[in-house]
Amino acid sequence: MDQLPSDEEIARNRRLLHTAVEHPVRQDILRRLKVKGATLTAADLESEDLSPRCAGYHLTQLEKVGAIEVAETMHVRGQVIRVYRATPAGHELAPA
């Protein structure tokens, strides 16, 4: 039987989640995923200011704290493409 997290662990996880979503790029990711059914990949975030590698880093950080999750993986030309969607926690923390 799994043990429930302590109040300290819950508070720590909440702090990590809030800290992770403070970054402007991560706020933009969550804003884009706020629409019901919305998904995106690192390539979707690519811009003049944000490389796919950097976008992937921010997606990974949001995934680590439970704000987003992998909805699907695709294999394209030898690469694994991850498609992300927001979790309930991510929806709650997404900026308006």
Does the global pTM surpass 0.85? Answer: no
**59-94 per-position pLDDT tens digit:** 999 999 889 999 999 999 999 999 999 999 888 888
- Taking 70 as the threshold, does the pLDDT of residue 1 lie above it? no
Question: What are the phi and psi torsion angles at 53 (to 5°)?
Answer: -65, -45
Domains of the chain, with CATH numbers?
7-93 (1.10.10.10)
**pLDDT > 90 fraction of the chain, expressed in percent and rounded:** 50
Single-letter residue type at 84: Y
pLDDT, position 8: 80
